[in-house]
Chains A and B, each alone.
Chain A
Amino acid sequence: MIRVEGLSKRYGKLWALRGVSCSFRPGEVTALIGPNGSGKTTLIKSILGAVRPTEGKLWLGDTPIGTDPAYRARLGYMPQIGRYPDNLTIGQLLDMMQDLRGQPTGGCDDRLVSVLGIDRQLGKKLGALSGGTRQKVSAILAFRFRPEVLILDEPTAGLDPVSAESILEAVGQAVAAGVAVVITSHIMNEVEAVANRVTYLAEGRLLFSETAADLQARTQETRLSAAIAHYAKACHG
């Protein structure tokens, strides 16, 4: 669904990404893993068009990702830290995003609104929200417009266990419906629970991109987190 070819991004002297090629497939949850500063967020933002690549190409299906913004209607994005205009209420934000995108909302997202308990807080100002509630709003916006690709940047960090589980359930439903999911997380249990594929970045380079089953078979480790650690070490060699 998403294809990345030879993607490089330079900030001044620093290369955030160097020649990364990978793809994210429909019906698959790809865990994007790597140490802090390894380029995960830069990769995600390149897909979103928020960061302009220095070199390389990206495709969504057959559409090259360039200056035409129409492809973004097919993406759902949940940022690591959702920041919204302080003086809007949650309800106004949801209405505004719908108006700006001009897309119908899907059925499952309205479920997410009530599951996360946001339906009772629609009148609250965004500036007065706690970090967790903000994150729930971000999650709702990501799932809301029937995306073909879901990009979740640390979706559950800082959320209560019940809400985190609801979001992971929603991820499961989306994948079953054929959505390509990209998820970054430092919580290995979570990666283990949802990911079919692990894509590992280190210092801006792609170390490996393997299915979970392959990783476990190659390293003879039953726990995915142990397999990842083992394999990453071997790749660093």
Chain B
Amino acid sequence: MGKILKYSLVNLLRSRVVLAYTVCLFAITTALFALESDPSKALVSLSQVVLNVVPLVCLLFTAIQYYNSLEFTELLVVQPLRRRTILLGQLLAQWVAVSFAYLVGVVLPLSVFSPGANSVMLSASGVLLGAIGVSLGFLIALANRDKARGIGVAILLWLVFVVVYDGLLLLALLLLADYPIEPWVVPLASLNPIDLARIQVMLRIDLAAMLGYTGAVYKQFFGSLGGLLYTFGLLLVWLVWPAWVALRLFLKKDF
């Protein structure tokens, strides 16, 4: 696996997308802190970027990268290498690449401009969301032979996570306001990794008041240490299951 990781990583870094992504993240982070005199406000703006843009970029970059390096993969599967080794090597390379970009582009300037617990939370969430995007990107690319379709599905999934899901959840909360729905709020939010990360970050930055009634439920549950562990446990589940399904698909795939 080490060799596949090495060659995939070299291939990734040669493509310059990782470099451009790193530079963009770094520019956004430093610009937000330079323009905003109140670091906590800058942190809020940054969290919007991180929670929305990072998953999208990682999802799309991974799917496109998979399609573009398909010929390389075809070459690898007829060599005396395990398919498991090939896929895990490529997955790991992608994880390393996007995490590296995030560490340099966001975590590094954050630790200079705004060291503290909130920044740690944002950093951890961002790294995890990026990695989840990579896992899901592989899954989508493997489930769709056609490149255009795969990329379409990736964008759609992102829209669902960022906009549609929250909208439906809000609508349900409104319509069912007369019923005792509090027990459902937490499990429903758990189905969306971006929501999970968003809730944790917002609670830290203390924007929960803005969330109103559900915010109170969130604060009670997610604000505790148990809630923190619950969030990161679920994010890890979101990291592992798409990768696991992608691996199953890859093992059965006909090239």
Residue numbers of A with Cβ under 8 A of B are 11, 45, 48-52, 67, 69-73, 75, 77, 83-85, 87, 96-97, 99-101
Contacts and interface: CB of A to CB of B under 8 A. Distances in A.
B71 A45 contact: no
A64 B202 CA distance: 56
Contact of B3 (A71, A85, A100): A100
Nearest to B76: A100
B79 A101 contact: yes
A83 B71 contact: yes
Contacts of B255: 45, 50-51
A69 B81 contact: yes
Nearest to A93: B75
Given A84-B72, A99-B3, A70 B254 contact: no
B97 to A, nearest CB: 15
Interface in B57-82: 69, 71-72, 74-82
Contacts of A73: 80
Interface of B: 3-4, 7, 11, 14-15, 69, 71-72, 74-83, 251-255
B78 A48 contact: yes
A49 B82 CA distance: 11
Given A51-B254, A87-B14, A96-B7, A101 B71 contact: no
Contacts of A11: 254
Nearest to B251: A67
Given A45-B254, A51-B255, A52-B252, A84 B77 contact: no
B249 to A, nearest CB: 12
B82 A85 contact: no
Contacts of B72: 84-85
Given A85-B11, A96-B7, A99-B3, A72 B80 contact: yes
Nearest to B11: A85
Contact of B81 (A45, A77, A100): A100
B80 A87 contact: no
A77 B75 CA distance: 10
A113 to B, nearest CB: 18
Nearest to A81: B71
Contact of A83 (B15, B74, B78): B74
Nearest to A71: B80
A45 B253 CA distance: 12
A69 B82 CA distance: 6
Contact of B77 (A50, A71, A85, A101): A50
A72 to B, nearest CB: 4
B87 to A, nearest CB: 13
A158 B75 CA distance: 21
A93 to B, nearest CB: 9
Q: Which 6 A-B pairs have the closest CB atoms?
A: A83-B71, A73-B80, A72-B80, A50-B255, A51-B254, A48-B78
B255 to A, nearest CB: 4
Contacts of A49: 77-78
Nearest to B4: A100
Contacts of B251: 67
Nearest to B84: A67
Contacts of A71: 80
Nearest to A68: B82
A89 to B, nearest CB: 12
B254 A50 contact: yes
A11 B255 CA distance: 12
Contact of B79 (A45, A83, A97): A97
Contact of B80 (A45, A69, A85, A96): A69
A57 to B, nearest CB: 17
Given A51-B255, A84-B72, A87-B11, A72 B3 contact: no
Contacts of A45: 254-255
A45 B74 CA distance: 11
A100 B14 CA distance: 19
26 contacts: A49-B77, A49-B78, A50-B74, A50-B77, A50-B78, A50-B254, A50-B255, A52-B252, A67-B82, A69-B80, A72-B78, A72-B79, A72-B80, A72-B81, A77-B78, A83-B71, A83-B74, A84-B71, A84-B75, A85-B69, A85-B72, A87-B14, A99-B3, A100-B76, A100-B79, A101-B80
